[in-house]
Structure 1
């Protein structure tokens, strides 16, 4: 009993540490100012730009990060630890430094921009790129751990039975790590939404929500920054809760289907 009480108390302290500032902010926002802010076109554009750019970054990461996660989980090769370290690096370095690093490669006067003719600084592409850079480790590591939990013999058995490596991956491996992919995607998308340091280096305009909040706080103070912050938190929280509920509902549905299949097999036996 004492063990449970101690653990519950420690966990509750952590929840309070996160919840109290957020609840304080939500309840201190003036309803009239909040309603006026919610009707501003600039705020609408900023919030939806933030959600959209982070979504694009997450979609690109699914096509590149999932294959990399499979390689890192399944294969041992020289330099593997270096690659894992490189993937984790964006989590460690200051995100303003990440923005500077990206700017040195994609800036208007960089060699790459001159060779390709691409000028992405100050565009939605630059915003999505900054979000991708700082948040992709969350997706790759989540999916990698998911693949590690799956016995490799399932894939080998599928290949032995005539499936190609592609088919074994798509029909055996991928469905088994679906939950890890969803969780990693949610984490990456959420981390991208909150990104400020790298984004402000690559694209001050058009303004994502964190940059808009910063500008209003700098120019007008807390009173005008608070409503935008509250709106972003409420929208993000609603989306996250909806995603988690959908994930749990689908998992329960799949578990029920598997149980029904087992019952059918038992009845036939």
Structure 2
């Protein structure tokens, strides 16, 4: 019975893996090498990759600077509002990414509450590094 269960799990895992691997393999072998080479040396693509990596590093650093002390407080300290903070931390897991993106754009956009407030000081979020970092967090 265990062997039968293992073979079912293995089959389902291979089917699931094929949904990820086959499109990637199709792109790699279906695209001419000259097109891939052109894409890798295109200045806009290089700038996009650098922007994404930089924003990812900044977002990770900010997340660590906020997350580690917050995790320490939640685990080792008892304080009023602890359950509320735990609930707030769980929200990004429950909200779909599209809805979160629309919410962030509504809040930080040029017509959003925080977008209007920060525009007084010349800070913009849409299409900037700050907006990308906030979106990644």
- The 1:77–1:11 alpha-carbon spacing in structure 2 relative to 1, beyond 3 Å, is farther
In the other structure, the counterpart of 2:23 is 21
- Out of 78, 87, 90, the residue aligned to residue 89 of structure 2 is 87
CA offset at residue 114 of structure 1?
Answer: 5.1
The 3-state SS of whatever aligns with 2:90 is: helix
CA offset at residue 90 of structure 1?
Answer: 2.3
Gap runs ≥5 in structure 1: 133-269
TM-score computed with the length of structure 1 as normaliser = 0.43
CA offset at residue 4 of structure 1?
Answer: 3.0
In the other structure, the counterpart of 1:258 is none
Q: How many equivalent residue pairs?
A: 131
Distance 2:11 2:64 in 1: 38
In the other structure, the counterpart of 1:46 is 48
- Out of 47, 66, 69, the residue aligned to residue 68 of structure 2 is 66
Question: CA RMSD of the aligned region, Å?
Answer: 2.5
Tell me, yes or no, if the aligned pair for 1:108 and 1:119 is still in contact at 8 Å. no
User: What does the per-residue CA deviation read over 1:85-131, in whole Å, with 9 as the maximum and x for residues that have no partner?
Assistant: 3223223334343233333443345353156x142222111111111
1:193-208 to 2 correspondences below 5 Å: none
Distance 2:96 2:60 in 1: 21
- The 1:71–1:35 alpha-carbon spacing in structure 2 relative to 1, beyond 3 Å, is same
Distance 1:6 1:100 in 2: 40
TM-score computed with the length of structure 2 as normaliser = 0.76
- Compare relative contact order (CA 8 Å, sep 6+) and give the higher one, 1 or 2: 1
Distance 1:18 1:93 in 2: 24
User: What does the per-residue CA deviation read over 1:20-47, in whole Å, with 9 as the maximum and x for residues that have no partner?
Assistant: 2222222212211111111110111011
- The 1:76–1:12 alpha-carbon spacing in structure 2 relative to 1, beyond 3 Å, is farther
Distance 2:30 2:132 in 1: 31
The 3-state SS of whatever aligns with 1:120 is: coil
